[in-house]
Structure formats: C-alpha cells, structure tokens
Amino acid sequence: MAHAQESHTKRIWIVFGFLCIITMVEVALGIVKPEGLYFTQFLGTSLLNWIFIILTLVKAYYIVWAFMHLEGEKKWFRRAIVWTVVFLISYLVTLLLIEGGYLFETLAPLVKWDY
Amino acid sequence: MEATIAVKSEEKNAWDGGGSRPFGASYGKMMMWFFIVSDALTFSGFLAAYGLTRFKFIDSWPIADQVFNHFPFIHGDHPMLFVALMTFILIFSSVTMVLAVDAGHRMKKTQVTWYMLLTIIGGLIFLGSQAWEWKNFIGGTYGAVKTTEGQVLQFVKEGHQIALSDFVVGAHGERTTHTRENGLWFESEAALPTYSLQQVISSYEHNPSVLIRTEEIDLETKEKKILSREEGSRYLLMATKVVEGANLTENEYGKTLFADFFFFITGFHGFHVFSGILINIIVFFNVILGTYEKRGHYNMVEKVGLYWHFVDLVWVFVFTFFYLV
C-alpha cells in the first residue's frame, strides 16, 4: 500500500489510455470483421464475438479494479462483491442462453419464410 | 491507488453504522457497493433476456451495423463510429471522476471542483448523444413494409439499403390523417406514413433496380437474404402497411423485440446517467460550499464516484452486446 498523500494520477491516465486502446481495437475489429474470426464458430458463437466478450471483461476488470478501486479494499470485502456477482450472472446467463438456443431449435422450423 | 479512497481503511470513525467496522470500509461506501451489486444483477437480467431473445431469433435478428449507422454532420453509412465516440466520452468522464476522488483524498478543493465539473459536462454530452441516437432510431432512416405475418421487408439497390423516398413516386394522396378536428371528435390516429402501401408497391414494380431484403439471415454469409424481383413481387402481395421508424409495437429494422430491448436497456442506462448527473451536481455544489472541507474528508465524492464508474461499466457491456456482438 502506497503512502496516503501520494497522487495516483499517473496510474489513472495509464488505465485510461489502456481502456481507449481496447475500445479502438474493438471498433476496428467490428468494422473490418476479419473473415477467419467472423465465420469460425466456437462454443455457440463466432470467434470474433468471443474476442469482443473477453476484451469487454478486461475493460470491466480495469474499471472495477482501478477506477472503483476494488484492489485497495480488504480481501473479503472484495470477494463478497466479485464472487457474488460473477456466480449469479454466469448462472443466469448460462441458463437463459441455453433456453434461447432451445427456443430457436423448436420454433425456427415453424416459421414460414417464403410466400 | 488507494489514494482514491477518501477515508483510509485504517482510520478511526470510518464506520458510522455502529461500533464495529466490517471490512474496514465506511458505512456509506459499503452500502453503495451493495447497491451496485444489486443494480448489476438488474442490468445483467436485462442483458441476459436480450441474449435469450437473440438466440431465439438467431436467424432473423436485426444486424446492428445496419441500424445504428449515423454520425453527426456526416452523411452516409457509418456504423460503430458514433457509439464508439459515446464510449470514449463516458470513459473520459469516468477518468475525471476518479481524478476528483484522488484530489479529494489530498484535500485539494479547487481540483475536486474542476474535475467534478468536467465529469458533469461529460455526462451531459453523453446524455445528449444518447438522445440523438434515440431520435435517429425512432425517426427511422429508410422505411420498410410489414407483411401479414409481421415480417419487415426492406428495399435495397446495388447491395445497399435505400429509403422509400429514394424510389417511391408521389406523396400520400389517398386520404389525410384522421385528427380530432376533422373526424369523430373522440377518435384520432397516429400520423400517416409518408407513402401509401399502393405507391410503394407500384413504384417497386416500375423500378427494376430495386430489390427486397427480408429479415431472414443466411447463416453462411451472415447477411440478410435478398429476394429476386419475382419473389419480391410475391412477398409484396402479403404487405399490409408501411412502417417508418420505431416504436414499442413495430419498427422498420425488423423484430419488434429489438426496439423494445433497445428502448428498455439504453433507456434504463440513460436514466442511471441522468440520476448520476443530478447527484454529481449536488456533490459539486457541496464541494464549492466547502461542506466536505469542513467535514474533513471527501468521502461523499468517493461514493458518488463509485456510482458513476458503475454507470460507465454498464455502458461497456451495453456497447458490446448491443453494437458489437
């Protein structure tokens, strides 16, 4: 732990630059859509989408750790927050996405597309 | 980085909710964190529901690049750019917020004041951008027709979507909007679309370069299917009305639920930004009045900072799941 009166503006600007770079990479990938990533399916969605999701989680990590300063909190306070949220959200998302896939498989054959 | 904590964990009197100080965090900060946890679950509920619906209609969901393609003062098709700009604005206002918290820890009143002001301005710019995004979404760009089964048919020329006004001849001439003044006084209706269905269909028949794009996505190319001229005429027989723009019951982009989720999720997020700005303004004036200087710490700036960063955090996810994925 650093000294109390010390300013941490340098770290803040570094994190800001990092978040901007990640966002720019996301936007560039979103515009270019490299074929190898865009058309390769992996675990239910394209590789490109997985890259977006991972980059988003990296961004979330930096916002929560550096800006919301979770890294400076007591270990179990941190865990009370992060473990709860991560567990409940993964649970909910897993169930709902599996259900969404099932609904598609069941309902899509019933949709008439050509007249 | 613990400089961003206004009250050091080791300090006495950090906990105001009783004798013991769980986790060494102040009462207000801990409660803000627990509020953020519950709010994060609310937002994840919305986004997970969006995910379910999207997987349910994986072969016909609107393609975000074809919906959000505006940029101020530049005409044409520019997907991603505006929403990327909004992301930068929000991240930047997050940075000024954390700088305010940092300055508050060092008891630099002038710096806190200026950084809070910048944060508020950033929030207002973001909110304005969101309003502009909504305006474009609600007003619509191209217009489309809807079939008896609720499918939306869009018009393309040389692979690019074109607006109804680009090929439909004539204006809505069959009748005028039924308002309270010119019909039954107790009944009125929404504004009529610019063109009648008959005009759209006959213009399509007379313009061989116009093709029809359906909602269905070819899973191989990940593009919406474009019909041949003959198929298009057949589909148009099933058209029931002209749709321009978006509302909660229909939209020109495709699935109704897409617009519903857009309004609901970005609206709920925008409301968070709005309330964050209000709280920021209150704290800003308290900083100017010297309230926290007298209190001896800038704990309050840190708490509102947590909320503000959370709003930024949510936007990062909305950005990914609404615009990128």
pLDDT digits (tens, 9 = 90+) for B220-233: 888 999 999 999 99
Burial of residue B323 (number of CB atoms within 10 Å: 0-12, 13-18, 19+): buried
Nearest CA among B67, B194, B47 for reference residue B138:
B67
* Structural domain ending residue among the three candidates B216, B244, B272: B244
Question: In one letter, which amino acid is B2?
Answer: E
Taking contacts as CB-CB distances below 8 angstroms, the residues of chain B near A16 are: 91-92, 95
Q: Could you tell me if residue B226 is inside a domain?
A: yes
Instruction: Give me the mean pLDDT over the B287-295 stretch.
Output: 93
Interface test with B, best of A45, A68, A74 (most B CBs within 10 A): A68
Q: Could you tell me if residue B8 is inside a domain?
A: no
CA distances from B325 to A48, B201, B321 (A): 8, 34, 5
Are A36 and A79 part of one and the same domain? Answer: no
Residue B134 has pLDDT above 60, yes or no: yes
- Residue A87 pLDDT: 97
The distance of B245 to chain A (nearest Cα, Å) reads: 23
| B58 to A39: CB separation less than 8 angstroms, yes or no | no
| B238 to A9: CB separation less than 8 angstroms, yes or no | no
Instruction: Give me the mean pLDDT over the A76-99 stretch.
Output: 96
Are B120 and B178 part of one and the same domain? Answer: no
- Residue B174 pLDDT: 61
Instruction: Give me the mean pLDDT over the A91-104 stretch.
Output: 96
CB B325 within 8 A of CB A53: yes
Instruction: Give me the mean pLDDT over the A38-52 stretch.
Output: 91
Taking contacts as CB-CB distances below 8 angstroms, the residues of chain B near A7 are: 3, 102, 106
Are B45 and B111 part of one and the same domain? Answer: yes
Residue of chain B whose Cα is closest to the Cα of A58: B316
Instruction: Give me the mean pLDDT over the A80-102 stretch.
Output: 96
Are A80 and A67 part of one and the same domain? Answer: no
Domain that holds residue A59: 1-72
- Residue B211 pLDDT: 94
Domain that holds residue B233: 144-244
Burial of residue B55 (number of CB atoms within 10 Å: 0-12, 13-18, 19+): buried
Mean pLDDT rounded to a whole number for chain B:
89
Position B10 confidence tier, pLDDT thresholds 50, 70, 90: low
Number of folded domains in chain B?
2
Are A65 and A54 part of one and the same domain? Answer: yes
- Residue A2 pLDDT: 41
Taking contacts as CB-CB distances below 8 angstroms, the residues of chain A near B23 are: 73-74, 76-77, 80
Instruction: Give me the mean pLDDT over the A31-54 stretch.
Output: 91
B295/B193 Cα distance (integer angstroms): 60
- Residue B171 pLDDT: 65
The distance of B183 to chain A (nearest Cα, Å) reads: 37
* Structural domain ending residue among the three candidates B244, B278, B309: B244
pLDDT tens for each residue of B187-213: 777 777 888 888 899 999 999 999 999
Mean pLDDT rounded to a whole number for chain A:
90
Q: Could you tell me if residue B102 is inside a domain?
A: yes
* Structural domain ending residue among the three candidates B244, B277, B298: B244
| A67 to B309: CB separation less than 8 angstroms, yes or no | yes
Position B11 confidence tier, pLDDT thresholds 50, 70, 90: low
Q: Smallest Cβ distance to B2: which of A53, A69, A103?
A: A69
| A4 to B3: CB separation less than 8 angstroms, yes or no | yes
The distance of A18 to chain B (nearest Cα, Å) reads: 11
Q: Smallest Cβ distance to B53: which of A7, A16, A100?
A: A100
Residue A16 has pLDDT above 90, yes or no: yes
- Residue B103 pLDDT: 94
Q: Could you tell me if residue B11 is inside a domain?
A: no
Position B69 confidence tier, pLDDT thresholds 50, 70, 90: confident
Instruction: Give me the mean pLDDT over the A104-114 stretch.
Output: 86
Instruction: Give me the mean pLDDT over the A36-45 stretch.
Output: 88
Residue B110 has pLDDT above 80, yes or no: yes
Residue B56 has pLDDT above 50, yes or no: yes
Residue B91 has pLDDT above 60, yes or no: yes
Are A58 and A23 part of one and the same domain? Answer: yes
Are A61 and A94 part of one and the same domain? Answer: no
B240 three-state secondary structure: strand
Position A112 confidence tier, pLDDT thresholds 50, 70, 90: confident
Number of folded domains in chain A?
2
Are A62 and A87 part of one and the same domain? Answer: no
Angle at B249 (CA atoms; ends B244, B250), nearest 5 degrees: 30
Are A68 and A84 part of one and the same domain? Answer: no
- Residue B9 pLDDT: 52
| A77 to B23: CB separation less than 8 angstroms, yes or no | yes
Position B289 confidence tier, pLDDT thresholds 50, 70, 90: very high
Residue A56 has pLDDT above 90, yes or no: yes
Residue of chain A whose Cα is closest to the Cα of B220: A39
Q: Which is more confident, B126 or B14?
A: B126
The distance of B186 to chain A (nearest Cα, Å) reads: 39
